[in-house]
Amino acid sequence: MYYKEAKAYRRDEVSVFAITRCVYDEDIKEELLEIKKLSVRILEKQKGFIGVKQYICEEMNEMVSIIEWETKEDHEKSMESPDWDTVNPTWIALTKGAKITFEVNLFEPH
């Protein structure tokens, strides 16, 4: 689990959460853990990133990440960042190879 202190973040504003769910084949677990570590390093550099909590259910080969952002716009801009160019080919190959299923949902509390 990784959580950083947000700089100049006003707590009177409501955070936005990107919730990712990944179900994976057992034979790629180690590769997936490595790509997740690299992804967290990329997240750390993004404007508006507050923190991430990651959960693994080994019995079901499932990983869930809850990524907290200052705003929806920060999340959206991050997803378009060229910083992801180093890891996107691996994510795409794993998805196309049917080794993982991956979904992202945005949660905006009101």
Mean pLDDT of the chain: 88
Q: Is the pLDDT score of 12 beyond 60?
A: no
Please state the rounded mean pLDDT for residues 81-91: 92
Residues paired with residue 101 on neighbouring β-strands, in sequence order = 23
Residue 11's pLDDT band, with cuts at 50, 70 and 90, is: low
- Is residue 28 within 8 Å of 54, Cβ to Cβ? no
Domain ranges of the chain: 28-107
Q: Is the pLDDT score of 4 beyond 90?
A: no
Q: Give tens-digit pLDDT for 13-64.
A: 789 999 999 999 999 899 989 999 999 999 999 999 999 999 999 999 999 9
Give the domain 28-107 fold.
Alpha-Beta Plaits (3.30.70)
Query: pLDDT at position 47, please?
Result: 97
